Amino acid sequence: MSAQPTAVVAELRDSPASNELRQVDSTKEVRGSLTPEIVIALCGPIGSPLHEVATQISSALVPFDYKTEQIRLSSIISLNAGDVGKIIFPKPRLKQINSLIEAGDALREKYGHDILAKVAIAKISGDRAQGYGEFDDKAAESGVAESKKINNQRICHIINSIKNESELELLRLVYGNALVAIGVFSPLDIRRHNLQNAAQEAMSSDDIDTLIDTDSGEEFAHGQSVRDTFPRCDFFLRVDQPVSGSTESDAAGQIAKKLRRLFGLIFRTSISTPLPEETAMYAAASAARNSACLSRQVGASVTSRSGELLAVGWNDVPQAGGGLYGKPSLEATSAALDPSADRRCFAGENPRCRNDEEKLGIAGKVADLLIKEGLVAKDHRDRILTAISKDSRVKDLIEFSRAVHAEMHAILGAGRIAGDRLVGGMIFVTTYPCHSCARHIVAAGITEIHYIEPYRKSMATKLHSDSLTEGVGPDMRVKLIQFDGVAPRRFIEIFEAGKRKDRGVLDLSLRDAAIPSTRVSLKAIPRLEEAVIAELENKTLKYVPLAST
């Protein structure tokens, strides 16, 4: 029985243009619509060298014959601050930054968390229409000129910089893999130095620390949340040197070298295999997917001093007989394979997080004690519970979780398999380790901890400053290092080999003709941009014309 044509197909079949459309080679049509356009979104904590990275991106793309345009979201905020009753102060620098943060938050609160990304999208669409005209949405046979116009669209928009998860999410929805989000990070001491150096006037240590804390993660959804947005990037670029303002500085050189490798991978103009750190972090991120924890999935991998992968781990509830639920052990194979025997927090008649349950119980005991001692009225109990649960250190307690943490699971596995090879090795964790895991990592003899996602609750360096450091200089302490390189989420795509040889001889594209592996169809992008622009038409938001680089 043949399928009935849909109404759309029937209408297309009976239209005057049906004969022309029947001649279309759909494969050729799709391939001809792929655009070499790239959109790069920068994200990083305040004080990281985002502007220097934007400059170096423009330089790195010159050999690829790319034109670059930079969209400064701070400029968009400045232009539209008056719309939300805010004023951007030109100086001093501290007041300027604070006024930009307040205006950005107000714009997100009024128009939606992703409004700044929407204005950036409108700008990208406008630049394309201005530089290349409107793209024909008809068949490829409508003319070779259209396909050539698409292939010549060698332009990269650099968005500097996104601060909210919703902004990154919308950009990914519109541009797909053509969007490359780069997380830029410098250690805290370097960021403090960069802020003080760029301010051109004295800022106190307290002022700088307040700025860094505010930028990292405000306590409302429409605020800046770099701490939450940063881990979702596609590539991480760690800069361990201060920015001096010179194009020949150590920081500039470090950035340029890493960007050359990234673009060589994206355009496949060079053969570059994963660094040991990238392989180890990919293993950690893959292991995290085994976790059924209700709070978060965390993965870890342990390597030897030379980078040899020893073991992986994830956070989940331990099972009698050894190992964790969900993965059968020799002693508990039958129980592990029986779904009815699963005793993790999500299973059973009353699925719940035991850690949250215990924290709520502590808050209740504190509230009852205050009431019993006559310090607060009984009818205020609910308010007390809310205050303790949300605005005290009780909310940060992790001691009552049933799960073995990923780091401990990986260390236990490495200890069984590798023994002393663990000593002097490294651990790669998707999330900054908690203070409990940190002390066990130190005791295991590990020398470096590489992580992606920051963790607000960790007191690792506060409690163990004698054994742990986030500094990068010569030091006998265990180093906590922000991960650097291709993110696990793009690992397979970026390192997948394209065509490398012709008749047995190395044959890679020249940079000025190379096509990025991240290409998407230009049939889709303008339609999605139009949806954003249609929404913005009723708003009075403005954006600045951009200068080509």
Instruction: Round to whole Å and give the CA distance between 147 and 522.
Output: 10
Pairing assessment for the beta strands 299-303 and 426-431 based on DSSP bridges:
antiparallel
Structure tokens at 83: 């719309």
pLDDT of residue 509: 87
pLDDT at 132 over 70: yes
pLDDT of residue 545: 46
Q: Within a 10 A sphere around the Cβ of 368, how many other Cβ atoms? A: 14
pLDDT of residue 141: 44
Calculate the average pLDDT of the chain: 85
Ranges 245-254, 334-343, 353-362, 508-517, most confident: 508-517
Angle, alpha carbons 529-534-535 (nearest 5°): 100
**Are the C-beta atoms of residues 137 and 94 closer than 8 Å to each other?**
no
Beta bridge partners of 431: 453
pLDDT (mean) for 438-467: 91
Q: What tens digit of pLDDT does each residue of 312-358 get?
A: 999 999 988 888 888 765 555 554 556 567 878 888 778 888 878 88
Least confident of 168-182, 330-344, 417-431, 461-475: 330-344
pLDDT of residue 238: 95
Beta bridge partners of 42: 160, 182
pLDDT (mean) for 504-518: 89
Pairing assessment for the beta strands 235-238 and 485-486 based on DSSP bridges:
antiparallel
pLDDT (mean) for 28-37: 84
Structure tokens at 294: 């209700």
User: In sequence order, which residues have a C-beta less than 8 Å from that of residue 384 and are 6 or more positions away?
Assistant: 363, 366, 367, 370, 376
User: Running DSSP on this structure, what letter comes out for residue 140?
Assistant: G
- Model confidence at 136, pLDDT cuts 50, 70, 90, reads low
Q: What tens digit of pLDDT does each residue of 456-505 get?
A: 678 898 899 999 998 877 889 999 999 999 999 999 999 998 788 888 88
pLDDT of residue 77: 93
pLDDT at 7 over 80: no
User: Peptide bond preceding 465: is omega within 30 degrees of 0, i.e. cis?
Assistant: no
3-state secondary structure at position 431: strand
Structure tokens at 420: 């002393």
Query: For residue 453, which phi and psi values (nearest 5 degrees)?
Result: -90, 125
Ranges 33-42, 192-201, 214-223, 376-385, most confident: 33-42
pLDDT at 12 over 60: no
**Are the C-beta atoms of residues 49 and 186 closer than 8 Å to each other?**
yes
pLDDT of residue 333: 53
pLDDT of residue 379: 87
Q: What percent of the chain has pLDDT over 90?
A: 48
- Model confidence at 100, pLDDT cuts 50, 70, 90, reads very high
pLDDT at 162 over 60: yes
Q: What percent of the chain has pLDDT over 70?
A: 85
pLDDT of residue 316: 93
Instruction: Round to whole Å and give the CA distance between 186 and 160.
Output: 16
pLDDT of residue 199: 64
Q: Within a 10 A sphere around the Cβ of 215, how many other Cβ atoms? A: 22
- 439 sits in which H/E element: helix 435-443
pLDDT of residue 534: 87
- Model confidence at 543, pLDDT cuts 50, 70, 90, reads low
pLDDT of residue 354: 81
